Amino acid sequence: MTQDEQFMALAMREAEKARVAGEVPCGCVIVKEGRVIARGWNQVEALHDATAHAEMVALTAAEAAVGDWRLEGCTVYVTKEPCPMCAGAMVHCRPERVVFGIPDPKGGACGGWIHLLDANPPLNHRCEVTGGVLREACLEQFQSFFRAARAEAKRRKKQAREEHADDTDD
């Protein structure tokens, strides 16, 4: 297993925390000099905060860990391609690399929908981007979450129909 795969596996553990909490299972770890300095997982629902993506949580923790908003020499590992908000934050805090698991062609900002991290000359920083690390495992983690969510929604809908039918039988 490569070093990128090892750290992505740790990001997947963070994503599992999100799944257990009922959040979309996205996880992130930030590494400096071969050591994890920050972790994060999606907490949008728990915190009622649209900005509480795994990357944003981890970026804030990493800045605290290094005592600076600049994350030079750091690598961000995240299970899903960062969105424009998260990629924009990365441009500003300047990690060296961003490594993600699954691409997001509809909303990703590291080459999926747009590319903010290394192909946008007006921005003040560029990051090396590597996508597809543990892609299949990350994809399965996302897909299983959404399969379970759809099944639960279907179960609740059926239950509501049955309860409504019982109410009209009276």
Catalytic residues: 55
Residue pair 111/103 in contact by the 8 Å Cβ criterion: yes
Could you tell me how far CA 91 lies from the centroid of its own chain?
16
Give buried/exposed letters for 20-48 (b at 16+ CB in 10 A, else e).
eeebbbbbbbbbbeeebbbbbbbbbeeee
Burial of 96 (0-12, 13-18, 19+ CB in 10 A): middle
Query: Hey, what are 55's tokens?
Result: 């990357």
